[in-house]
Amino acid sequence: MFRNQYDTDVTTWSPAGRLFQVEYAMEAVKQGSAAIGLRSATHVVLAAVNKTASELSSHQKKVFKVDDHVGIAIAGLTADGRVLSRFLRNECINHAFVYESPLPVPRLVVQLADKAQVCTQRSWKRPYGVGLLVAGLDETGAHLYYNCPSGNYFEYQAFAIGSRSQAAKTYLERRFEAFNNHSRDDLIKDALFAIKETLQGEKLTSSICTVAVVGVGESFHVIDQKTIQEMIDSMEIAEEAPAEPDAVQEEAEAAPMDI
């Protein structure tokens, strides 16, 4: 995008009815490292790509725990994501202190959306340049929401945001109907397959992705790298297995027949 006379602040509308500052924030989400969320009836899985600025630096954290029953994955400006994660934690703590119960996930998402929307109508502010996938579990079941920098929010069965997320969306769209009955491990494997789609040929390892899960009887936590690497190895073995019968058949066809 390019600068013009209508993008100096967020309250200036273009003749076409566009708010360029909001569009710039949404573009920042598209250029951030990919984040993916999947939901079943009992569990929600978040996965994010660990992108580094250079080989000499470590990656920035993209998955944050908000409360025992809620967590987020972000794509876009990490600094904005940290600010919003602290806001969400405060909201959960305040609700638990007053009502002595966990904050329902839909209400938390509405509060987050209201905070983001205020930044689209104040000339001295700018929209948060980060998209959030909010995963949580409450009395009504498992939830997965996407919060947009514009203040919009949507609930999904599965969703992907960030760089090269369209490849992951295509994979999720082919399989989402079965997610509701998936087990915890099946959800994690599908999340890893979706992450792999965003890498464009790069080898998937536990060091370049972060996976977190929340579900019935399981508080939100990031899964350790050793467990993730074992799942990746088992996926690779499963992908290679179907090729073996074909190879046997080709050898049989190539072998001379005894007449």
Residue 205: name the closest of 12, 98, 49 by CA.
Answer: 49
**215: Cβ contacts below 8 Å, ≥ 6 apart:** 40, 42, 43, 44, 137, 142, 184
Residue 134 has pLDDT above 50, yes or no: yes
pLDDT for the residue 252: 47
pLDDT at 192 over 50: yes
The DSSP code sequence of 161-178 is: ESTTHHHHHHHHHHHGGG
Mean pLDDT of 220-239: 91
DSSP code, position 110: H
CA–CA gap between residue 92 and residue 76 (Å, rounded): 23
**pLDDT greater than 80 at residue 193:** yes
* pTM of the model as a whole: 0.88
Question: Smallest Cα–Cα separation from 147: which of 134, 162, 164, 166?
Answer: 134
For residue 97, is pLDDT > 70? Answer: yes
Domains and CATH numbers, the chain: 21-253 (3.60.20.10)
Cβ neighbors of 143 (< 8 A, separation 6 or more) are 39, 44, 105, 106, 109, 134, 135, 136, 137, 155
Amino acid at residue number 240: E
What does each C-alpha distance from 205 to 52, 110, 166, 192 come to in angstroms? 14, 35, 21, 10
Amino acid at position 165, single letter: S
